């Protein structure tokens, strides 16, 4: 499909700005493993402090890259399937808000004025620009939903009995989840944190802020995941040489995400004393509910891949696994997506461990957690994002891939790195190794009285994995920008791989409309969150003054000395 120059330019910018920033994000990922393994036994390196680096790592990789990509990918899928471009003025306003927000927040982080990590929990306090930047990034990413909703309504009017394409359904569901969950974090930022950071209020309600953050925070992980799921359902079967086993299974999975992605945030607060056990139990149950669409996906995609393998002549129960196009340089998206799926098997299973109340008390706030989430967000999410960014850039610009052989092995290299890295972290976590801690300053410094020799092998393993991941990440950046600087040699068009369905079930109206699902979503949300907020309101405790990570004394007391 041919698209306008302005639309192409928009997508190019939305892909390349975060990839450029990723250099910084990946560098700080490597530095984390170096600090934590005790190779560095100091608070800062190259004038960048540990928590400043961790904030840059989390914010750039998990918030900026993912949000820009979701918007760019959403524009591409909507335009491709609806055969119409979104309103360009609105799309450019959205891009400008997100970019200004990113610049403001990046300045605050680089200046060392916002070392509050990607969760920006109070009482850690950041510069107002950090909060303002986050708010602009979020508001900018809301606008495409209004753009696409209008396109969809028009399309539906013209095609009332045609099934909504799965990718369109997925994009709309993802941004509805995003819009609803970000309402809470927008309130947290604009009403609680920004006035506090500006000095208009002196203390902050920590329990309320945390609860509002996690109303957003777990749905955020599905906002990261759903673009990858869209690729698994609508592209991977085709890339494997087969068909999607069931179109309806994809629809059911997507609608279940709409119901269960948000009302589960309290599973991040199992250890928070302000919330009662009943609320934790209920949201814990819903957390098992949100795993169901992923189990459906595991079955459907495995069946689709098996079909592809059999079409390629495989025999026996598992022979299909050996027949898939793992190293086809022209079909490199297959490699990115299959590696993401393999990592997600382990990312998903460790998620179930986290969700289990008693097991959670063993792993909460230990290194186990980053072990879990690097096999999810740095698994299917990151691999889907980087593979698809290269793919979209190359096809939309008509430029051949730079270093195609390297490009196809990047995901395998990355996967080996993540598996080693996460094993080190999870092993360490089970031995009590804390997350978000500069271990080199204490526990991994043999001269310290706190030295823990049993954490040497775990952090060394994580360091080894981190180095491999760093090399793979930098190779991706070389391939992406190398492709960008090549001469145009192919026809430049918006083209996405499209999987046919093996079971293309007839249209069931319930799975082709939003209203009943939206009503159910709101009902579950109210049932899950009214008691949680009542708990928080009742058990608020004293409000907190501001702190910075480097000092256990409130900022106000330091300044008054």
Q: Which residues are catalytic?
A: 218, 222, 372-374, 435-436
Stretch that binds ligand HAS, among 246-254, 371-379, 439-447, 454-462 (CB under 6 A): 371-379
Torsion of CA 121, 126, 129, 132, to 10 degrees: 20
- Does residue number 119 form part of the binding site for ligand HAS (CB under 6 A)? yes
For ligand HAS, the closer of residues 196 and 344 by Cβ is: 344
CB of 486 to ligand HAS, least distance (A): 32
CB of 355 to ligand HAS, least distance (A): 3
- Does residue number 510 form part of the binding site for ligand HAS (CB under 6 A)? no
Report yes or no: 100 and 113 within 8 Å, Cβ to Cβ: no
For ligand HAS, the closer of residues 86 and 170 by Cβ is: 170
* Tokens (6 digits) for 98: 């997100």
- Does residue number 360 form part of the binding site for ligand HAS (CB under 6 A)? yes
Report yes or no: 179 and 145 within 8 Å, Cβ to Cβ: yes
Binding ligand HAS (rule: CB under 6 A), the pick from 376, 422, 423, 499 is 376
Cα separations in angstroms, 215 against 138, 260, 365: 15, 12, 19
CB of 551 to ligand HAS, least distance (A): 23
Binding ligand HAS (rule: CB under 6 A), the pick from 149, 298, 409, 431 is 298
User: Which residues face 488 on adjacent strands?
Assistant: 399
CB of 403 to ligand HAS, least distance (A): 25
Cα separations in angstroms, 131 against 48, 118, 120: 21, 11, 9
Stretch that binds ligand HAS, among 68-76, 187-195, 288-296, 526-534 (CB under 6 A): 288-296
For ligand HAS, the closer of residues 211 and 294 by Cβ is: 294
For ligand HAS, the closer of residues 100 and 296 by Cβ is: 296
Please name the residues in contact with 347: beta carbons below 8 A apart, sequence gap of 6 or more. 372, 373, 374, 375, 376, 379, 380
Pairing verdict, β 244-246 and 501-503: parallel
CB of 521 to ligand HAS, least distance (A): 17
User: Under DSSP, is residue 44 helix (H, G, I), strand (E, B) or coil?
Assistant: strand
For ligand HAS, the closer of residues 79 and 225 by Cβ is: 225
Binding ligand HAS (rule: CB under 6 A), the pick from 302, 403, 409, 467 is 302
Residues 67-96, one symbol each (x = binds ligand HAS by CB under 6 A, - = not), give ------------------------------
Please report the DSSP string for 367-386 in residue order. Answer: THHHHHHHTTIIIIIHHHHH
For ligand HAS, the closer of residues 91 and 249 by Cβ is: 249
CB of 363 to ligand HAS, least distance (A): 6
- Does residue number 374 form part of the binding site for ligand HAS (CB under 6 A)? no
- Does residue number 420 form part of the binding site for ligand HAS (CB under 6 A)? no
- Does residue number 294 form part of the binding site for ligand HAS (CB under 6 A)? yes
Binding ligand HAS (rule: CB under 6 A), the pick from 186, 321, 484, 518 is 321
Distance of CA 370 to the CA centre of its chain: 13
Stretch that binds ligand HAS, among 78-86, 191-199, 345-353, 473-481 (CB under 6 A): 345-353
Report yes or no: 154 and 87 within 8 Å, Cβ to Cβ: no
Q: Among residues 155, 146, 212, which one has the least CA distance to residue 179?
A: 146
- 281-290: buried (b, 16+ CB within 10 Å) or exposed (e) per residue? ebbbebbebb
Q: What span, in angstroms and rounded, lies between the C-alpha atoms of 199 and 214? A: 25
CB of 76 to ligand HAS, least distance (A): 20
Binding ligand HAS (rule: CB under 6 A), the pick from 134, 254, 290, 392 is 290
Cα separations in angstroms, 490 against 314, 359, 493: 34, 53, 9
CB of 214 to ligand HAS, least distance (A): 9
Q: What span, in angstroms and rounded, lies between the C-alpha atoms of 102 and 107? A: 8
Residues 218-237, interacting with ligand HAS (CB under 6 A):
221, 224-225
Q: Among residues 240, 233, 235, 384, which one has the least CA distance to residue 306?
A: 240
User: Which residues face 501 on adjacent strands?
Assistant: 244
| Residue whose beta carbon is closest to ligand HAS | 348
* Tokens (6 digits) for 412: 């395998």
Q: How many residues bind ligand HAS (CB under 6 A)?
A: 35
- Does residue number 377 form part of the binding site for ligand HAS (CB under 6 A)? yes
- Does residue number 369 form part of the binding site for ligand HAS (CB under 6 A)? yes
CB of 386 to ligand HAS, least distance (A): 14
Residue 160's Cβ-count burial label (10 Å; 0-12, 13-18, 19+) is exposed
Stretch that binds ligand HAS, among 8-16, 83-91, 99-107, 352-360 (CB under 6 A): 352-360
Output the CA torsion sign for 447, 448, 449, 454.
negative
The H or E element that residue 537 is part of is helix 515-538
Residues 248-277, interacting with ligand HAS (CB under 6 A):
267-268
Report yes or no: 217 and 268 within 8 Å, Cβ to Cβ: yes
Tell me which residues touch ligand HAS (CB under 6 A): 119, 221, 224-225, 267-268, 287, 290-291, 294-295, 297-298, 301-302, 305, 321, 338, 341-342, 344-345, 348, 351-352, 354-355, 360, 364, 369, 372-373, 376-377, 381
């Amino acid at each position: 499909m041919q698209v306008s120059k302005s639309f192409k330019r928009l997508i190019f910018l939305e892909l390349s700005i975060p990839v450029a920033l990723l250099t910084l994000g990946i560098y700080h990922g490597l530095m984390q493993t170096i600090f934590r393994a005790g190779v560095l036994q100091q608070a800062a390196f190259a004038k960048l402090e540990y928590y400043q680096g961790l904030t840059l790592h989390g914010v750039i990789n998990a918030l900026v890259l993912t949000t820009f990509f979701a918007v760019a990918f959403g524009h591409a899928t909507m335009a491709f399937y609806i055969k119409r471009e979104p309103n360009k003025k609105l799309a450019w306003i959205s891009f400008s808000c997100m970019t200004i927000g990113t610049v403001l927040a990046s300045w605050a982080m680089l200046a060392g004025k916002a070392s509050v990590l990607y969760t920006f929990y109070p009482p850690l306090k950041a510069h107002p620009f950090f909060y303002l930047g986050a708010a602009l990034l979020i508001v900018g990413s809301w606008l495409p939903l209004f753009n696409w909703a209008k396109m969809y309504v028009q399309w539906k009017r013209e095609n009332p009995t045609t099934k909504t394409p799965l990718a369109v359904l997925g994009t709309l569901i993802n941004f509805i989840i995003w819009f609803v969950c970000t309402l809470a974090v927008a309130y947290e930022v604009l009403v609680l944190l920004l006035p506090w950071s500006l000095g208009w209020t002196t203390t902050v309600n920590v329990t309320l802020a945390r609860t509002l953050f996690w109303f957003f925070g777990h749905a955020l992980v599905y906002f990261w995941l759903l673009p990858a799921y869209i690729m698994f359902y609508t592209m991977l079967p085709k890339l494997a040489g087969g068909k999607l086993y069931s179109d309806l299974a994809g629809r059911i999975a997507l609608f279940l995400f709409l119901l269960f992605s948000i009302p589960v945030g309290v599973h991040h607060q199992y250890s928070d004393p302000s919330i009662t056990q009943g609320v934790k139990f209920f949201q814990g149950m819903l957390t098992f509910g949100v795993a169901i669409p992923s189990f459906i996906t595991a079955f459907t995609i495995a069946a689709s891949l098996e079909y592809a393998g059999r079409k390629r002549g495989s025999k026996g129960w598992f022979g299909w696994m050996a027949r898939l196009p793992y190293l086809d340089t022209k079909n490199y998206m297959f490699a990115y997506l299959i590696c993401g799926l393999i990592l997600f098997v382990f990312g998903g299973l460790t998620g179930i461990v986290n969700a289990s109340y008693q097991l959670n008390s063993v792993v909460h706030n230990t290194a186990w957690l980053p072990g879990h989430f690097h096999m999810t967000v740095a698994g299917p999410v990151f691999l889907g994002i980087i593979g698809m960014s290269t793919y979209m850039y190359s096809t939309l610009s008509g430029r051949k891939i730079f270093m195609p052989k390297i490009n196809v092995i990047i995901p395998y290299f990355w996967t080996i790195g993540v598996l080693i890295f996460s094993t080190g972290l999870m092993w360490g976590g089970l031995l009590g190794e804390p997350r978000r801690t500069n271990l080199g300053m204490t526990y991994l410094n043999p001269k310290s009285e706190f030295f823990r020799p049993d954490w040497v092998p775990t952090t060394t393993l994580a360091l080894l994995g981190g180095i491999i991941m760093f090399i793979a990440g930098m190779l991706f950046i070389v391939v992406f920008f190398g492709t960008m600087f090549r001469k145009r040699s192919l026809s430049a068009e918006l083209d996405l791989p499209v999987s046919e369905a093996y079971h293309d079930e007839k249209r069931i109206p319930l799975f082709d409309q939003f209203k009943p699902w939206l009503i159910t979503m709101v009902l579950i949300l109210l049932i899950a969150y009214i008691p949680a907020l009542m708990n928080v309101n009742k058990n608020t405790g004293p409000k907190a003054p501001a702190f910075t990570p480097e000092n256990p004394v409130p900022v106000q007391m330091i300044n008054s000395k």
